[in-house]
């Protein structure tokens, strides 16, 4: 665990000064990025970036964008955080809500930045740490280098801890808002919740999304008002309730369940995007 935390701490040192060097026009290729054609959506390309860390490891990210994005969403996947982004753009683990819906976000005019776990590390128990907040901040800096548009954080399940933590350490000049979906609010196997990620320090608009039909024991929908209330210094906090979903997994906290919005993806994306539209045009 100490080794992994050290690697993430090094990310805070290495990513920020190198972010601008990755802001390449989409028609150009570079040794540190891979462009992947997208045939079934309005995405012109999906680009893979390897952001070098000073210890020799890399933070790999997938960037999907329409031609002229209205804003960029930095996604914080749930679970262990291991998306498995391959060099050619293939994804080994693409079931997570924030990963499998990226084309829906692009169709709404939003670019999406999806980080992988550093060296495939299990991120459970690490997302509320100061080191992880620094890493999220550097991802936001990278997003700003890609496009002069507002940047949002969006986390789901365990990833909401990371989104809350990042938002608590960024101000309105860096972040337009934060979205927390099916947030882990009760202690479980990761031994951390959104309440340990300094919610009182969030000073940007926030949206809390909860599915009435979520049966995940560590993310009960009735905790949504508590999560909203904990962000006491946010200028605007809203709770958005949804209902429905398909149960394809025996694990009620799995991605292909109501907890992961399986079967109601468009409804959830539209609800969140409508809220972000109102924030981004201010």
Give the tens place of pLDDT for each residue, 185-219: 999 888 999 999 999 999 999 999 999 999 999 99
Strands of 237-242's sheet, edge to edge?
A: 33-37, 45-52, 58-65, 110-115, 71-76, 151-156, 177-181, 206-211, 237-242
Query: Which of 89-98, 117-126, 172-181 has the weakest average pLDDT?
Result: 117-126
Q: What is the predicted pLDDT for the residue at 54?
A: 53
Mean pLDDT, the chain, whole residue set: 84
Q: What is the predicted pLDDT for the residue at 181?
A: 98
Higher pLDDT, 282 or 8: 282
Q: What is the predicted pLDDT for the residue at 183?
A: 98
Higher pLDDT, 21 or 71: 71
| Residues 117/4, Cβ–Cβ less than 8 Å | no
Q: Is the pLDDT confidence value at 22 over 50?
A: no
Which residue matches tokens 């992994």? 4
For residues 11-30, average pLDDT? 33
In tens, the pLDDT along 30-59 reads 334 555 544 444 544 799 999 876 556 678
pTM beyond 0.75, yes or no:
yes
In tens, the pLDDT along 61-101 reads 999 999 999 999 999 998 877 878 888 888 988 889 999 99
Q: What is the predicted pLDDT for the residue at 160?
A: 97
Q: What is the predicted pLDDT for the residue at 9?
A: 40
Q: What is the predicted pLDDT for the residue at 40?
A: 44
Among 191, 184, 190, which residue's Cα sits nearest to residue 164? 184
């Amino acid at each position: 665990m100490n080794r992994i935390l050290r690697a993430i701490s090094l990310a805070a040192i290495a990513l920020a000064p190198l972010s601008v060097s990755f802001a390449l026009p989409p028609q150009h290729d570079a040794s540190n990025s891979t462009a992947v054609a997208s045939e079934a959506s309005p995405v012109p390309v999906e680009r893979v970036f390897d952001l070098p860390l000073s210890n020799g490891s890399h933070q790999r990210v997938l960037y999907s964008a329409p031609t002229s994005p209205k804003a960029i969403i930095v996604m914080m996947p749930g679970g262990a955080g291991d998306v498995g982004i391959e060099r050619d753009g293939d994804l080994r683990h693409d079931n997570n809500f924030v990963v499998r819906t990226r084309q829906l976000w692009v169709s709404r005019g939003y670019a999406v930045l999806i980080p992988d776990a550093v060296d495939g590390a299990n991120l459970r128990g690490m997302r509320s740490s100061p080191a992880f907040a620094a890493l999220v901040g550097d991802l936001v800096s990278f997003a700003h280098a890609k496009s002069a548009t507002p940047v949002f954080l969006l986390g789901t399940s365990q990833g909401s801890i990371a989104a809350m933590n990042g938002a608590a350490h960024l101000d309105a000049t860096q972040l337009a808002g934060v979205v927390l979906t099916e947030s882990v609010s009760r202690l479980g196997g990761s031994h951390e919740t959104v309440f340990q990620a300094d919610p009182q320090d969030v000073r940007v608009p926030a949206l809390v999304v909860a599915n009435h039909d979520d049966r995940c024991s560590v993310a009960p929908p009735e905790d949504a008002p508590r999560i909203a209330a904990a962000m006491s210094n946010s200028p605007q906090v809203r709770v958005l309730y949804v209902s429905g979903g398909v149960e394809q997994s025996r694990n009620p906290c799995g991605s292909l369940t109501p907890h992961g919005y399986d079967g109601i993806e468009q409804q959830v994306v539209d609800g969140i995007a409508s809220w972000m539209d109102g924030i981004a045009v201010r």
